[in-house]
Amino acid sequence: MFQRLQQKWKVNGWRLLLILITFATGGSLCGYLGRLIISQLNIGQPVIRIIIYIVIVTILWPFCVILISIPTGQFNFFRAYLTKMGQRMVGKQPATADRAETSSNEENQNKLIMSQKENNTTSTPFRIAIFASGAGSNAAKIIEYFKGKPETEVALVVCNKPGAGVLGIAQKAGIPTLLIEKEQFFRGNGYVDELQHANIGFVVLAGFLWKVPTSLIQAYSGRIVNIHPALLPKYGGKGMYGMHVHNAVIEAKEKESGISIHFVDEVYDHGAVIYQAICTISDTDTPDMLAQKIHQLEHAHYPRVIEEVIAGLQKRS
Ligand code: GAR
C-alpha cells in the first residue's frame, strides 16, 4: 500500500511519512476544533449535533491540514492535493500530468508522435531534453548548436546531482532545469509525466550516469540517445564511465579509442550504435590526455548526429 502511495504521489519514503503525519495531525486538530465549536453551540438534538459536527469538520479539514503542512514542510504537496480535490468536486478534469499517470505506454508513444507531427506542420520547435550528471561540456555544445536551429529547441536540462556544472550552463542559457530524485526515477515512472508535460519529444544523455529505467525507455522508445567515451562494445557496461573508461583503455595499451553514439535500451551501453569516431593513442598519452581527445570528438560530432537522428524520426512519423 505504501509503495502504491509513493508511486501515485511520486514521493520518496521519507516524504510519504511526513505527508501521512500531516494527514493524521491535521485530522486530529480538525476533530478537536469541531468538538470545541459544537460544545459552544449548545445544541440539544443529537442528530442535529452530528450533522453540524460533520459540516464543521468538512469545512475545517482543508485549513487544518494546510496549517500542519507548513511545519512538516509539505505545503506544496497539500496545496496541489486540495486544488485537485476541489477540481474533482466541481467536476473538472485534473491537470495533464495526473491524467498522463494513468495512460499506457502505447498512448504515451502516440502522444509523442502526434506532438511531433504537429511540430512538422507548424513552426513550433521540436523539443529535446538533455540528461546530464556532471560538468556538462557536451550539454553546452548541444545547447549552442541548436540555438542557431529554430526547428529544434533544447527545452529542458535534467540532472540528478545538485550543484553539477551542467545546471549552471542551463541557467545561463535560460533553459529550465529539472533536478531528479533517485526514488522517483527508479520506483516512480522515470519522470515520464514531467517530460510529456513539457512536450519533450527526444532525450539526449550527455554524461548522465544513472541507468535509464524501463518506464522511460518504453515511453521514449527509439528516442533516447547516449554518448559513450570509447569504441563500444569495448569498455562499456556498468561502472564504465568518464575517467574509468580512459584509465582502462590506457592500461590495456590500446592504440586507438573513440566515441560511440548509440540508442539507449535496457542494458548499459548496449543499444544500436548510430555513429563512431576514432582517435589514435600514442605511447606517451595519459588518461587525462585521452579524455581531452575524446571530448574534442564528442563536441565535434554529437550535436550534428543528434540533429540527423531527429530528422530521420520526423521523416518517418
Ligand atoms: C563524456 O565524456 C561522456 O562521454 C561520458 O561522460 C562525459 C561527460 O562529460 N559519458 C559516459 O561515460 C557514459 N557512460 P561532460 O559532462 O563534460 O559532457
**Interval 131-141: pLDDT, tens:** 999 999 999 99
Q: What is the pTM of this model?
A: 0.66
Number of domains composing the chain: 2
Q: Are residues 76 and 211 in the same domain?
A: no
Return d(Cα 45, Cα 60) in angstroms, integer: 22
Range of the domain at 77: 2-104
Task: Calculate mean pLDDT across residues 199-219.
Answer: 97
Q: Are residues 250 and 204 in the same domain?
A: yes
Ligand 1 — pocket residues by CB below 6 A? 132, 134-139, 206-207, 227-229, 241-242, 245, 294-295, 298
Do the Cβ atoms of 132 and 164 come closer than 8 Å?
Answer: yes
Q: Are residues 76 and 165 in the same domain?
A: no
Given strand 126-132, what is the order of strands in its sheet? Answer: 177-179, 152-159, 126-132, 202-205, 224-228, 256-263, 273-280
Do the Cβ atoms of 126 and 314 come closer than 8 Å?
Answer: yes
In a domain, 109, yes or no: no
Report pLDDT for 200: 98
Show Cβ contacts of residue 55 under 8 Å, excluding neighbours closer than 6 positions: none
Closest-CA residue, ligand 1 atom 17, reads: 137
Helix locations, the chain, DSSP H: 2-9, 13-41, 46-69, 75-89, 96-102, 105-121, 137-147, 165-173, 182-187, 192-197, 214-219, 242-251, 287-316
Closest-CA residue, ligand 1 atom 9, reads: 207
Task: Calculate mean pLDDT across residues 232-254.
Answer: 97
Task: Calculate mean pLDDT across residues 103-127.
Answer: 54
Q: Are residues 97 and 123 in the same domain?
A: no
